[in-house]
Structure 1
Amino acid sequence: MTISLQYSQITVNDVDEALGFYQGALGLEVLNDVAQGGFRWVTLGSTAQPGVEIVLSEPHAGRSQADGDALQELVTKGVMGPIVFRSEDVDALFEKVRASGAEVMQEPIDQPWGPRDCAFRDPSGNMVRINQAPAA
């Protein structure tokens, strides 16, 4: 029996604003755009990992009012867990994302545990890290 990742969720305040970052700056491709019950979610992916999708949705989408409010509070505080991407050229991708106007949290550095990485905040305040594997 095998198991693999299919979806990963990122809660955002505004799906269209988030698309400017995830599609525009990072270069992910929109795979699905669904509106239902007054809410919308969008899935994005990369040709480098077919079958793995990131779901962008607002805090109240598919949740009770109380749960959506609680999640909204966490998003607003910027305390949701990070999402980490991998790139073959973290420095070039860093420059592209920085040029988009994204908030830089950390410029590219070589980490003592191996990867070279950098970090940004998406428009909702979620931390986005980009890693590059160390040279062999």
Structure 2
Amino acid sequence: MITNVSLVSVWVRDQDESLAFYTDVLGFTVGDDIRLAADFRWLTVFHPNQPELHLHLTTPSKPLSDDLIAAMQRAQAEGGMPGVGLHVDDCRATYEDLKAKGVEFLQEPSDRPYGVEALMRDNSGNWMVLVEPRSFDPADIVAGGPEQFA
């Protein structure tokens, strides 16, 4: 029986730079940092409030195919890779704090039916959403497509 999610991979361009971003900027903690081979490093970070869920910071590399590696690297360069969602206690304050640290934001904090949301990128171009959640009734959200959130 599956009991929980414990690991999510986040594709990064440079593990050292991403480690610094996730720990120094976002406040995560180093989990594992193990050199398993000359060309493979197992690197994880976790949030101190959720130590059971690790983010595996990994680069597109073998055993992936050369075509897939190249496609992922293009997506990273374009800033189009999916990332993770992060709950925050105060989205506007977190936005100001991270913006002052140089984090790139694609969307300033905005009110949504489910809370306050801001959209940022990590230093590898991965989209990350910050959400200050609030109670809502899904039935109150009109199925009007993405324009309802514009």
Q: TM-score of the superposition, structure 1-length normalised? A: 0.86
Map of 1:8 onto structure 2: 8
What amino acid maps onto 1:129 in structure 2?
A: V
Q: Does the residue aligned with 1:93 lie in a helix, a strand or coil? A: helix
Counterpart Cα distance in 2 of 1:49 and 1:119: 21
**Are 2:59 and 1:48 equivalent residues in the alignment?**
no
Aligned residues: CA RMSD: 2.0
- Alpha-carbon distance, 1:54 to partner: 0.5
Residue by residue over 1:98-120, the C-alpha shift from the partner in whole angstroms, topping out at 9 and shown as x without a partner, is 11111111111211x21111111
Residue by residue over 1:1-28, the C-alpha shift from the partner in whole angstroms, topping out at 9 and shown as x without a partner, is 4431111111011112212321111101
Q: Which runs of 5+ in 2 are unaligned?
A: 137-150
**Are 2:94 and 1:93 equivalent residues in the alignment?**
yes
Q: Which runs of 5+ in 1 are unaligned?
A: none
Counterpart Cα distance in 2 of 1:19 and 1:135: 34
Map of 1:31 onto structure 2: 31
Identity over the aligned pairs, expressed in percent? 30
**Are 2:137 and 1:122 equivalent residues in the alignment?**
no
Counterpart Cα distance in 2 of 1:128 and 1:55: 15
Name which structure has the greater RCO, CA cutoff 8 Å, separation 6+.
1
Contact 2:10 2:83 in 1 (8 A): no
Q: Does the residue aligned with 1:50 lie in a helix, a strand or coil? A: strand
Q: TM-score of the superposition, structure 2-length normalised? A: 0.79
Residue by residue over 1:30-73, the C-alpha shift from the partner in whole angstroms, topping out at 9 and shown as x without a partner, is 11112233132420111221210001111115434333223212
Counterpart Cα distance in 2 of 1:2 and 1:68: 30
